[in-house]
A and B are shown apart, each in its own frame.
Chain A
Amino acid sequence: GAGVSQSPSNKVTEKGKDVELRCDPISGHTALYWYRQSLGQGLEFLIYFQGNSAPDKSGLPSDRFSAERTGGSVSTLTIQRTQQEDSAVYLCASSYALLETQYFGPGTRLLVL
């Protein structure tokens, strides 16, 4: 079946602009996760959803970052007033349930000029 998909695959934006990154999890997966992969920091966990709920937002790097999930499926990660240090690959993963194996999407490569 289809895996986790993410869009766009690449995004170039100017400093100060807002961006939205989208994740489509595997059908039937109730848990969804966002990570960031950058040269300096490696792979960082950002936030997870169980259904539409995100119980812990403390992993988000700043208050410019927000995420939502609707209908228990698609999720969007929004970065407001982007900064150059936001440049990274943003990865989404989903799992059948919490505590189950996570499957990753191909990522969105964000470049902030």
Chain B
Amino acid sequence: AQTVTQSQPEMSVQEAETVTLSCTYDTSESDYYLFWYKQPPSRQMILVIRQEAYKQQNATENRFSVNFQKAAKSFSLKISDSQLGDAAMYFCAYAALYSNTGKLIFGQGTTLQVKP
């Protein structure tokens, strides 16, 4: 069974600084997708970034980038120039590419605090 692990329950960063959130996963599949979702206090789930496992290039979205290490099954999220609005709970998630259900498997989450 696939699992996703986020070992950092809480992280904090100073405004304008850079922070990295860690995520590891376990799967026997070779084709899959990885995601980072943000859940602010409103609890609305927001997609931050997505990575296809078959792509070697790390995904980037403005201030957000990932370090995808397929062999190590690691998928970390780097937030540059942190802003107060980045404060939220962040979830790493996995989805098998050829799964019948396509369900997302979430990690435990990391609460990010941004200090002014």
A in complex with B:
no
